[in-house]
Structure 1
Amino acid sequence: MTRRAARSGLVRAVNDRLALDLLVEYGPLSRSALADRTGMSKPSVAELIDRLLDAGLIEETGIGGVGRRGPNARLYGLVHDRAFVAGAEVRGGEVTAVITGIGGRAVAEAAITTRPRDNTITLVRDAVVAAAADGGADLDRLHGVVVGTPGIVDPRSGEIGFAADLPTWGGGLRDLLRRELAHPVRFENEVNLSALAEHRVGAARGQETFALISLGEGVGMALMLDGRLVRGASGGAGEIGYLPLGDGALAPARPAEGTYAGGFQALAGARAVRSLARQHGFDRRTATAAVRAAHAAGEGGAAFLDALVERVAAGVAAVCTVVDPGLVVLTGPLGRVAGELLGERLAERVGAATPVRPEVRPSSIEGNPVLRGAVLSALDAARDEVFGPTLHAPAPHWSRHPRQARDRHSSRAPVPLEGEQPMARKK
């Protein structure tokens, strides 16, 4: 093969991927719309569409411009059942799985209640299989499963180091689940997946650097710097629940139990907040209910909310003085309500105590952010496999290493074919 022929093949592959990514982003488009959005010539777009039709990646989906003057245009969209991915979340009492087509369209979801002695790995397999069956998805077309889990996932081995909520989990589970499903599997920390979802489609969209803090029964953090998740040498980056606060004395950590007396979780976890609420006369079943009741009480709830702001701000301030993320997104049951009702007060308190003043926002993901992030992460890898890799993102190594979520997309500019002048993409 000549150098010119090789370059032409690479250029076509890059432009095909650009067009497929646009169809993911915008849905079905006409030939002229693709030419307009890519800056490619209409003859080049016509050849591109023919290639993608022959490859079974796109199909004609209808006619656009009906009712307007001029000829109607054929619309082309992705073949959504060309491939599937699965996202799953494992909690102490439930396993949930969702199946999604290659274009991102959810097919079905299944949830299975767990008991302490259950084989959770088997239940993950059962949930994925049940969701696929419910949605009519062919498991032979499944191109990967991403499982969100509490605890630490080793970035080198891809195995779970420890998960306080899942004491039976440990090494070897990823390979076991891969054999159970006969498909690639990757574990990922649940808070990292929530951050990926917020970055792509939520409160941190357009922000390359931010911190996400999850407040609930457990407390955790994900940190994204310059568009990449920070995992740490052993996967423990973001375990903010163990952050030493209070009198400055370091209490002994008990990772296997997920406890750390005197840490941030002892101040701002749901159990601690319920106790604080009771001290102020707001005895409610959940911490979020107590916060909402205090907010509705006006002056009567001010003392409790002031104390809560002080506690949460201590953890946020510690993060901001180290990494200055600019934006802090609060998620989790308690985090959402704190961000919604107390976000401005938290930002002011941190700004008064440190040299930086972050913006504080509540999560804006509808539904389950962990599942959303798991699906987005699985789709990144599947699209690189099915559509072809982007220019700047290496193919994932499912078999040995966990794939770091790709949060930066390659340039949208098309690569000109031989003899074709490059054109700026029209907005």
Structure 2
Amino acid sequence: MAASPSTARAINDRLALRLLQQEGPLTAGQLKQLTGLSRPTVADLAERLTAAGLITVVGEAGEQRRGPNAKVYGIVADRAHLAALDVRTEGVAVAVSDLVGTVLAEISAPIAPAAGTGRAVERAVTLVERALEEAGAGRPHTVGVGAPGLIDPASGELRDSQGLPEWHRRLVAALQERLPGARVSLENETNLAALAEQRDGAARDRDTFVLLWLGHGTGAAVILDGALRRGASGGTGEIGFLPVPGTPGLPSATDCGGGFHSLASAAAVAELAGEYGVMAEEGGEPAAAGAVRAAVARVGEEPDSADARFLDALAGRVAVGVASVAALLDPGCVVLGGEIGHAGGGELAARVQARTARMSPLSTEVRASVLGGGAVLRGALLTARDRAQDELFGPTVQSPTVRGRAH
């Protein structure tokens, strides 16, 4: 059954908007080439989208730089503003961008563990308001929030978890109250990091992979056939609770001590570094990530040094998690994320891959994160942009008429 004229126009408009978002500004001729639409159809949709305030002429192309074919169209970036939060136990980072993803402001602030729930929430919300002011933005269209812990798949709310501050659970409601009309969404931090690595980082060429988060805590995010898998209770990837050898006991429902967390969390890695006499260089980087980065920087000079032995020991611990993931999911690729995975770079990733190959018959490539600790904020911003664009442009349209990239 053929689509009605109005449906066809909507499909064409959304397709053109998606191309402008993905490729950047394009001429009418480039839109015609990429969509396969006729010249009159492209001219009509450009007129409609311009009248709707969604696109505008941002320049001219070609040697003559004259006439309708020379006009370069781009999305109206300030049609909507977006905010993203990376919520950690010890603080919050905030970014504000326009509709095409250009970051206009980015700030962070610590939140003392001793601060009461009300004061902590107020500090976090005030930080968002400050970032919006610095960006010259009004109320954001969409706010994406990344936080540690389990997100209830039915309610979309952060579940009550021991070890996480109460202000995390109160933050979304406070944002909705102070930013009326904004769409606020919450997602697990590791899931957001994986989405960012898939779009802009180490897994751009993979539609199936696992991100293993190595930071203050441990976690994993699973991308299968291009889709994020959350599980029945939102707990897919809670690898910190995975029972592992080399720990004094087993984890419990409320304590991941005795699980993989005991081997590869920041505290465990810092303790391991101390056992080998590996120290982080002075600076603002957390001790565990700093020790790993320092060891990687020195290991090339002395292959049999304490730094090398420390990295081998750490690789052995991380490989326990990677081999477990491989045995269950066979993803073919695991990205080492978080501050520690990023600090270890290709050196640690190669050692983990070699150790995993001894433990598993399944071929598993191990890569280092490109985005590191910034992946959560990037993922929150990307998901906020996707949601805003879906609402403003309409749902993503996949069309066989898209012929390639304009390069």
- Whether these two folds match at TM > 0.5 is yes
Alignment equivalent of 2:90, drawn from 65, 75, 93? 93
State how many pairs are aligned. Answer: 391
2:395 alignment partner, SS class: coil
Q: Deviations over 1:383-424 (max 9, x none)?
A: 111111234xxxxxxxxxxxxxxxxxxx2434xxxxxxxxx6
8 A contact 2:342–2:371 mirrored in 1: no
In the alignment, which residue of structure 1 is the partner of 2:284?
Answer: none
Q: Give the aligned partner of residue 152 of structure 1.
A: 150
Correspondence for 1:279: 275
Cα-to-partner distance string for 1:167-223 (whole Å, 9 max, x where unaligned): 214766534431222122111111110001011111111311100011122111111
Q: 1:386 is paired with a residue of what secondary structure?
A: helix
**One-letter identity of the residue aligned with 2:322:** V
- SS where residue 243 of structure 2 aligns? coil
- CA deviations on 1:79-133 (whole Å, 9 max, x unpaired) are 1011122111112232222111111122222333323324333333222221111
1:45-60 matched pairs, under 5 angstroms: 45-60=42-57
Could you tell me how far apart the structure 1 residues matched to 2:102 and 2:16 are? 18
When normalised by structure 1's length, the TM-score is: 0.85
User: Conserved in 2, the CA contact under 8 Å of 1:240 and 1:264?
Assistant: yes
Scaled by the length of structure 2, the TM-score of the pair is 0.89
Amino acid at match of 1:300: S
**Residue 407 (structure 2) pairs with residue 425 (structure 1):** no
Q: Which residue of 2 aligns with 1:299?
A: 304
Selected match of 1:344 from 347, 350, 356: 350
SS in 1 for 2:141: strand
Q: Which runs of 5+ in 2 are unaligned?
A: 282-286
Relative to structure 1, the CA distance from residue 180 to residue 163 in structure 2 (aligned partners, 3 Å threshold; closer, same or farther) is: farther
Say if 2:40 is the partner of 1:37: no
Q: Which amino acid aligns with 1:12?
A: R
Q: CA deviation at 1:7?
A: 1.4
1:263 corresponds in structure 2 to 259
Cα distance between partner residues in 2 of 1:153 and 1:71: 50
Q: Quick one: distance in 2 between partners of 1:121 and 1:194?
A: 23
Offset, 1:287 = 2.2
In structure 2, what is the equivalent of residue 203 of structure 1?
202
2: CA distance, partners of 1:15 / 1:266: 53
Greater CA drift, 367-376 or 164-173:
164-173
Deviates more, 1:182-191 or 1:289-298: 289-298
Q: Are the structure 2 counterparts of residues 294 and 54 from structure 1 closer, same or farther at C-alpha, using a change threshold of 3 Å?
A: closer
Q: What amino acid is aligned across from residue 279 of structure 1 in structure 2?
A: E
In structure 2, the CA distance between the partners of 1:235 and 1:363, relative to structure 1 (3 Å rule), is: same
Q: Which amino acid aligns with 2:303?
A: G
Aligned to 2:25: 28
Match of 2:95, SS state, is: strand
Q: Shift of residue 266 of structure 1?
A: 0.9
Q: Deviations over 1:351-380 (max 9, x none)?
A: 221121211111112772111100111111
Change (3 A) 1:130 1:172: closer
Identity %: 45
Give the aligned partner of residue 11 of structure 2: 14
Change in CA separation of 1:98 and 1:121 when aligned onto 2, cut-off 3 Å: same
Residue 293 of structure 1: how far off its partner (Å): 3.8
Contact 1:66 1:72 in 2 (8 A): no
Inter-CA distance 9–341: structure 2 relative to 1 (3 Å threshold): same
**2:108 counterpart of 1:111:** yes
Residue 405 of structure 2 corresponds to residue 413 of structure 1: no
Other-structure match for 2:333: 327
Q: Secondary structure at the match of 2:371?
A: coil
Q: Deviations over 1:303-342 (max 9, x none)?
A: 2222111111111101110001111111111111334212
The CA distance in 1 between the partners of 2:295 and 2:404, in whole Å, is 51
What is the identity, as a one-letter code, of the residue corresponding to 1:122?
A: E
CA distance in 2, matches of 1:15, 1:382: 19
The separation in 1 between residues aligned to 2:188 and 2:391, in whole angstroms, is: 23
Shift of 1:243: 0.9
Partner AA of 2:144 in structure 1: V
Structure 1 gap segments, 5+ residues each: 392-410, 415-423
- Alpha-carbon distance between aligned partners in 2 of 1:367 and 1:332, rounded to the nearest angstrom: 5
Alignment deviations for residues 216-270 of structure 1 (CA, whole Å, 9 cap, x no partner) = 2211111111111111222111111111001698624263xxx422211111122
Q: Is the 8 A contact 1:339 1:362 kept in 2?
A: yes
